[in-house]
Every structure is written in structure tokens, then in C-alpha cells.
Amino acid sequence: MANLLDIINVGLFAAMLRMATPIAFSSLGGIFSERAGIINVGLEGMMLTSAFVGVVGSYYTGNPWLGLLAAVIAGGLLGLLHALLTVKFKGDQIVSGTGINIFAMGFTAYMCQIIYGSRGASATVTGFEAIPIPIPIIGDHTPLVYLMFAVAVLSHIVLFKTPIGLRIRAVGEHPAAADTAGIDVYRIKYLCVMVSGMLAGLGGAFLSLGHLNLFAWGMSGGRGFMALAAMIFGRWMPLGAFGASLLFGFADALQMRLQALGLLPPQFILAIPYILTIAVLIGFARKVTPPSDYKPYSKE
């Protein structure tokens, strides 16, 4: 029989931090986008694409940091696409995001087949190495995990303590007022959506370079959507979303341990994060006001 201590131990909490990282990055990305008034359900696709591009980058250069750079650029480009479709062409934001998700699914599998000859997984590449700080739980993680902390705090500062953050929130909440105050509404929206893509890129890069050192088909596994739930749970505040991401990370880490122990059929355990997401949304039955009405903005 499995010992409870086999499951709940220091390793679990360390894994919680690791598994929270991709969700946290994407969730912060989601916040930037939504605070500027654009819904981004394409975080999933941005993560997946970045995960792949990151691996390719590291494959050809042997350097995970260059892979990371490539991943962030890829995320930013997809963010730019989303911004073009929703801000310039005033297309439906959810359709655009879903299109990005479908694109990512197909494109990553397609290119994986082309480059590596297999649509299921790429070759192993040089990933990030853990930084051996001898403190329990928060020590011994790859750089991206520590970056997660920094980005969460930085996002909070930017949104609430800088002029640009004030403008972003103004653009999302009342674009006409921001416009008459002389703020370039379109530029801010573009910026924020691209940033959300880049942050999702960081999240995706973690999945491949910071964790498995390869790309596997569909490896984002719905985390882009969990990131949205974390964002709502955190009431569109960076620190809140970070906290919520820890919860999801915990569920993910738990799920992996349970699977390894083989106590239940894998399908039940694999479903845990998704059920948790729904539970989180249910738990938010009380009034949660989004920071924007997300209507496309047009100057007359």
C-alpha cells in the first residue's frame, strides 16, 4: 500500500512550483490582454507553438536561451496576429483565439513531422539546467521558475504603479475616455496583446525547455484555458492569478504523483486538473466583474 508520505512531501511542493510556472506566465499574459480589453483564448495555441519553437531553437543552436528567445518571439508574433484580427479588423475575439489554437495544433504537428520525422515528439534538446540553491522547495529549479516570481511582481508594479499601467487599465475599462485623454488606444491594445503572447511564450518554453527537454504533441494540454480560469480566480490581478496558478500547479503535480503510483486508472487522474478548473469557475458564482466590456473600439 502506498504511504501518504509518498505523495505529500517536499517534492510535491517543489513540483507544484514547477507545474505552476507555465500556467502563471500564461495567466499573467491573459491579464495584460484583458485589462486592455481583448479576450485572449488563444493562450493555449501560443503556448504550444512557443514550446515547439523553443525546442527547434535549442536544437539548431544548442543553447536553450536562444531557444527561449525564439519561443518568446513566436508568442509575440501570434499575439500580433490576434491583435490584428481583433483590433484592426474588429473580428470576434474568441473566434480569432480559437483559430490560433487550431493553427497551433496543426502547425506544430506538421513541422514536428517535417523536422523530426515524427508527429508525436521531437528529438531531445539542451534544456535549462536547475540552479542548485540548497533551500527546500524553492531551491533547485530551472531559471524560468524564478523568472515566474519576478514577472508576477513586475506585472503588479507595472499595472498599478506606473503611468503605462494606468493607461492600459483606462483603455480596457473606458476606451473612449482614454482616447479623449490623448492616449493611443490602438497602440496600447496591440502592445498588451503582444505582451500576452510573449508571456504565453515563456510559459510554453517552460513546458519544453524547462521541463521535458523536448516537444511532445499537444503538450500544452489545456493549460492555456486553466490560465484563463486562474486569471478569473485572481480577479485579473497579477498576484492573485499567481496564487491561483499555484493551486493549479498543485493539482498537476498531485496528478502526476498519483499516476506514478498507479492507484487509479490513469484517465481519472489525468482529468483532475480539468475538473478543478470547472470547480474554480463554480466557486466564483459571486459577482466577478471583468475589467472591460471587450467591445471592439472604433474612433468615429
Q: How far apart are CB 100 and another protein at their closest, in Å? A: 7
Q: How far apart are CB 65 and another protein at their closest, in Å? A: 26
Q: How far apart are CB 272 and another protein at their closest, in Å? A: 10
Q: How far apart are CB 123 and another protein at their closest, in Å? A: 16
Q: How many helices (H) and strands (E) does the chain have?
A: 13, 0
DSSP class of residue 121 equals B
Residue with Cβ nearer another protein (123 or 130)? 123
Residue with Cβ nearer another protein (143 or 290)? 290
* Burial track 254-265 (b if 16+ CB lie within 10 A, e otherwise): bbbbbbeeeeee
Q: Is 141 helix (H, G, I), strand (E, B) or coil?
A: strand
Residue with Cβ nearer another protein (50 or 96)? 96
Q: How open is the CA angle 242-147-163, to the nearest 5 degrees?
A: 70
Q: How open is the CA angle 28-288-172, to the nearest 5 degrees?
A: 55
Residue with Cβ nearer another protein (95 or 133)? 95
Q: How far apart are CB 28 and another protein at their closest, in Å? A: 17
- Bridge partners of 141? 131
Q: How far apart are CB 140 and another protein at their closest, in Å? A: 31
Question: Quick one: cell of 247?
Answer: 493551486
Footprint on this chain of another protein (rule: CB under 8 A): 41, 81, 85, 89-92, 94-96, 98-100, 102-103, 105-107, 109-111, 113-114, 119, 157, 161-163, 166-167, 169-170, 173-174, 176-183, 222, 225, 228-229, 265, 267-268, 270-271, 274-275, 277-278, 281-282, 284-285, 288, 290, 293-294, 296, 299-300
Residue with Cβ nearer another protein (146 or 294)? 294
Residue with Cβ nearer another protein (1 or 282)? 282
Residue with Cβ nearer another protein (215 or 225)? 225
C-beta neighbour count of 114 within 10 angstroms: 9
The distance of Cα 138 from the centroid of its chain, to the nearest Å, equals 20
Q: How far apart are CB 147 and another protein at their closest, in Å? A: 20
Measured distance CA(209)–CA(218) in Å, rounded: 15
Measured distance CA(99)–CA(189) in Å, rounded: 19
Closest alpha carbon to 237 in 75, 79, 54, 31: 31
Residue with Cβ nearer another protein (102 or 260)? 102
Q: How far apart are CB 222 and another protein at their closest, in Å? A: 6
Q: Is 71 helix (H, G, I), strand (E, B) or coil?
A: helix
Closest alpha carbon to 264 in 276, 254, 278: 254
Tell me if 170 sits within 8 A of 160, measured CB to CB: no
Q: How open is the CA angle 153-159-160, to the nearest 5 degrees?
A: 90
